[in-house]
Structure 1
Amino acid sequence: MTLEIEINGQTFVLHNSGALYWVGKKMLLISDAHLGKISHFRKHGSALPAKAIFMNFSRLDELVAYFVPEKICFLGDLFHSALNKEWHFFEEWVARTALPIILIAGNHDIVSPQKYEELHIPIVSEWLLDGFLLTHFPEEREGAFTFSGHIHPSVMLTGQGRQFLKLPCFFRSREQMILPAFGEFTGTSVMELKPDDVAYVITKEEVIKISKAL
C-alpha cells in the first residue's frame, strides 16, 4: 500500500492512492483530485455511474484515517470545473475533516476564491518550504526539489506476447517528482524513463519502484 523514500534528508511515504505524505511536516500532498468532474461529465451526457461521485471522498477519508496528518496541501486542480453539486460534498468533507487545507492553484481551479475563503482554505500560486517547491506545473528550479502534478504521469509496462499495461505513477527525475492524479476518471500521460528517472508505479495493492523502461 505504501513505499517510504528519502529526498534531501526528508522522509516521504508514497501511497497507492496517488497521495504523498511528508513525514517531517505531517502533511499530505494530493494532486489533481478533479472533484466535480464526474458530475460535470454526467451533466453533459457521459454514462458515468452516480456512485462514483463519492469514491474520491471515501478515498480522502481513508487517507486521513491512515496517516492522521496535521495539514493537507492540494497541488492544483482540486475542483475540475465550475460549481456543481459535488461542491456541497466537498464542503461537508472539509467540515468533518477539520484540518488546515492549502490549495496550490492549478489550471482547472476556476471556482471563485471567495468560496474557498468561506472554507478557510488559502490559495497560493506556489509554496517554497524548507528547500522543497510545491506547485501545480512541473518545473526544475535551482536550489529546490519540486513536487507537482498536472501531467497525470503513467508508464507503459511490456510483457511477453506483446502484452502492454499502462499504470499511473509517481515520476521522479533528478530535481522533481510529479504526482499521479488522485481523482477518478482523470486519464494519464505516458512518460519516457530516462537513465536518471525513477517511476513509482501504483497498483490496487502496492507501490512499486521502476528505474528503467521495461
Structure 2
Amino acid sequence: MHIVTKNIICNQETFTLTNQRALYWESEDALVLSDLHVGKSAHFRKHGIPIPDNVLIKDLERLKALIAFFKPKTILIVGDLFHAEFNTDVAHFKIWLQQFPNINFELIIGNHDRLSVALYKDLNITIHRPKKRIKKTSFVHDNVKSNENEFIISGHTHPGVIIKGKGKQFIKLPCYQVSSNQLILPAFSLFTGLNTKNSPKESVNYAFTSQGIYKI
C-alpha cells in the first residue's frame, strides 16, 4: 500500500491528510478517521445480500498500515465505527484490536453506533457524546454550527467529487472537504458510496487516488 501525505493548516493547526482516508494530527499524536462501518458487510449477508466477507479485512489491513506508518498514541474515530448490531464482523474487529494494547481508541458516537455501552467498555474504546474537543478543535460525527474560534472535524457525509474529462468521461473520487471552520473526512471504509452533491460553501476539496492527493 502506497501512503501519500499532504500537510494543510486549519485554525493554526497542522493536519496531515493521507490518500488512505485518514488524517494525522502530529501535535496530538492522533490518527483521525470516520465511518469505518464495522459490521456492515455481515449485516447485509445476514439479510441475504451476498457481500464478500473480505470487505472488512481490507479496511483493517489499511488501518494497520497507517498505524505502522504514523505510530500514533491515539486513534480517534469520528462516528460510525460500527454499522448495526453485534455480528461476526464485530467479533473479528474485537480480536483485531488486541494487536494494539498501547493505543488509545476513542469514538465520537455516530448515528450507526448503537452497540451497548458495556460492549464499548469490553472493547476498551472510550466513547464521547456528542463531541470531543481538543484545544480549539471539536470532533463531531455530523455537521454542526461551530462557535467562534472553534474548528470542526466531522464525517457522516462520505464526501466525493466528480472530475470530468473529454466527451462524457468522468471519474468519482473520495475527498476531504475543507473550509475556514470545518474539515469533513472521507469515509474510511471502501464499502460506502460517495456524496458528490453536498459540498459546503467556499470549501476546498482534496481528492485522492492510490498515487496522490489533489487540491480541487
TM-superposition CA deviations, 1:84-129 (whole Å, max 9, x none): 0111221122211121111100000011111011122121120111
Partner in structure 2 of residue 7 of structure 1:
10
Partner in structure 1 of residue 27 of structure 2:
24
Q: How does 1:32-181 map to 2 (within 5 A)?
A: 32-98=35-101, 99-125=103-129, 126-142=131-147, 143-181=149-187
How far did residue 16 of structure 1 move? 1.1
2:97 maps to a residue whose letter is V
After superposition, the Cα gap between the structure-2 partners of 1:165 and 1:181, relative to the gap in structure 1 and judged at 3 Å, is same
How far did residue 195 of structure 1 move? 6.9
How far did residue 60 of structure 1 move? 1.1
2:11, 2:181 within 8 Å by CA — same for their partners in 1? no
Identity, % of aligned positions: 39
Measured in 2, the distance between the counterparts of 1:194 and 1:108 equals 23
How far did residue 12 of structure 1 move? 0.9
1:56, 1:184 within 8 Å by CA — same for their partners in 2? yes
After superposition, the Cα gap between the structure-2 partners of 1:2 and 1:110, relative to the gap in structure 1 and judged at 3 Å, is same
1:186 maps to a residue whose letter is T
Measured in 2, the distance between the counterparts of 1:104 and 1:8 equals 21
After superposition, the Cα gap between the structure-2 partners of 1:144 and 1:194, relative to the gap in structure 1 and judged at 3 Å, is closer
Give structure 1 stretches of 5+ with no counterpart: none
Measured in 1, the distance between the counterparts of 2:90 and 2:200 equals 40
Measured in 1, the distance between the counterparts of 2:80 and 2:68 equals 23
RMSD of aligned residue pairs (Cα, Å): 1.4
After superposition, the Cα gap between the structure-2 partners of 1:184 and 1:193, relative to the gap in structure 1 and judged at 3 Å, is closer
After superposition, the Cα gap between the structure-2 partners of 1:147 and 1:195, relative to the gap in structure 1 and judged at 3 Å, is closer
After superposition, the Cα gap between the structure-2 partners of 1:207 and 1:112, relative to the gap in structure 1 and judged at 3 Å, is same
2:38 maps to a residue whose letter is L
SS where residue 98 of structure 2 aligns? helix
SS where residue 27 of structure 2 aligns? coil
2:5, 2:18 within 8 Å by CA — same for their partners in 1? yes
Measured in 2, the distance between the counterparts of 1:196 and 1:184 equals 27
SS where residue 50 of structure 1 aligns? coil
1:26, 1:70 within 8 Å by CA — same for their partners in 2? yes
SS where residue 127 of structure 1 aligns? strand
SS where residue 45 of structure 1 aligns? coil
1:189 aligns with 2:189: no
